[in-house]
Amino acid sequence: MEFLTVVIVLGLLQLWGSGGPLQRDDWFYQFNSNIPQRLASAELRLLVAIGLPALGVFLLQDLVESVLFGLLSLVLYVTLLLFSLGRGDFNQNLQHYIDAWKRGDFESAYDKAAAIGDFQQSEAIADHVALHEHIRRAFLHEGFERWFAVVFWFLLLGPVGAVIYRLLYLAARNDSFQEDDRQLALHWLHYLDWVPARLLALSFSLTGNFVNSFSRYWSSILDNQPTPELLDQSAVAAISGLNTSQVYPTDKEHFIEYGREELLTLQSLLSRSVIFWVIIIAVITVVAG
């Protein structure tokens, strides 16, 4: 059921570009707005905000399990996985950024970057080099959180795992949650990301420059560094030559082309990694079946 769900959702994403109408979050923010005045502890507030919807998903999953020979379960699985994926059209948002970047319009590129999930406009951007490095990390992290981490927890825990991950991500980044709640959600996400981030870094090695990336990957596999940094280092190593020192073009015109090519290459690396893991999941499904 899980593998079939992943394949169907991949096909729907090719048609729609995102989860579209299924990705409505206002109910979650409204539900959370009724919690703070009743519970003093951030742990309890977040547990209620995430736990009650997750419990609802679990009960609904159990209720429809045997209906219509499992067809209703499949519909529910597809719906919940689509809901749990990242918001917006990933490839379109990147293309809008690259179009502005190609024109050398860094102010517009900075504005377009806001549509890429993990890019924070509050961060200080000194110049076009810093902008490129920030957007590269944000792009890789969004590629990870919008698909790879969600599918990992979906395969491990079913729809409940995927929904919990997405709700935690939303809680960590929305101002309707108190600051303590957001920090706690980020803390929990860090540990939920730990294993899938390293698996994605491994796939970068296997689908990119193996020698360069694998040596970089193994040197940091047990480090507790933030997920965006781990993915950025691993991905850049996977598309680089044996010389691990990164040397940027000094003139702006050549750097614009360099930045564009690097982002497109990383986009291709992410796509190959998704295909790689779909194949791995298919093999495991066949062997286990």
Mind listing the pLDDT tens digit for each residue in 147-185?
A: 999 999 999 999 999 999 999 999 998 888 989 999 999
Contact yes or no for 237/209 (Cβ under 8 A): yes
Secondary-structure breakdown of the chain: helix, strand, coil percentages, each rounded to the nearest 5: 75, 0, 25
Position with higher pLDDT, 111 vs 81:
81
Compare 53 and 35 and report the one with higher pLDDT. 53
- CA–CA separation, 75 and 266 (whole Å): 33
Give the pLDDT of residue 12.
87
What's the average model confidence in pLDDT over 242-270?
83
Helix 90-102 with 106-113: angle, nearest 10 deg: 170
Q: Return the pLDDT at 124.
A: 59
Q: What is the dihedral of CA 272, 273, 277, 279, to 10 degrees?
A: 10
The CA dihedral of 21, 26, 31, 37, to the nearest 10 degrees, is: 170
Reported residue count of the chain is: 289
Residue 197's pLDDT band, with cuts at 50, 70 and 90, is very high
What is the average pLDDT score of the chain? 87
Spatial distance between the Cα atoms of 217 and 205, rounded to a whole number of angstroms: 8
**Contact between 158 and 62 (Cβ < 8 Å):** no
pLDDT at residue 13, rounded to an integer: 83
CA distance 239 to 161: 32
**Range name among 123-127, 134-138, 223-227 with the lowest pLDDT average:** 123-127
Q: Which residue has the higher pLDDT, 90 or 125?
A: 90
Q: Look-up: residue for tokens 């206002």?
A: 26
In the chain, what are the domain boundaries?
2-288
pLDDT at 213 over 90: no
pLDDT at 9 over 80: yes
What's the rounded Cα separation, in Å, for the pair 200 and 216? 14
The answer to whether the Cα torsion of 231, 232, 238, 243 is positive or negative is negative
Residue 268's pLDDT is what?
94
In this predicted structure, what is the pLDDT of residue 191? 94
Whether 198 shows a pLDDT value over 60: the answer reads: yes
Q: What was the pLDDT predicted at 147? A: 92
pLDDT above 70 covers what percent of the chain? 93
Whole-prediction pTM value? 0.90
Q: pLDDT band at residue 245, thresholds of 50, 70 and 90?
A: low
Q: What band does 289 get if pLDDT is binned at 50, 70 and 90?
A: low
Which comes out higher in pLDDT, residue 50 or 65?
50
Residues 252 and 250: their CA atoms lie apart, in Å, by 7
Whole-angstrom distance, CA of residue 212 vs CA of residue 155? 30
* Confidence at residue 199, expressed as pLDDT on a 0 to 100 scale: 94
Q: Mark 123-140 as b/e (b = at least 16 C-beta within 10 Å).
A: eebeebeebbbbbbbbbb
Average pLDDT over residues 25-44: 86
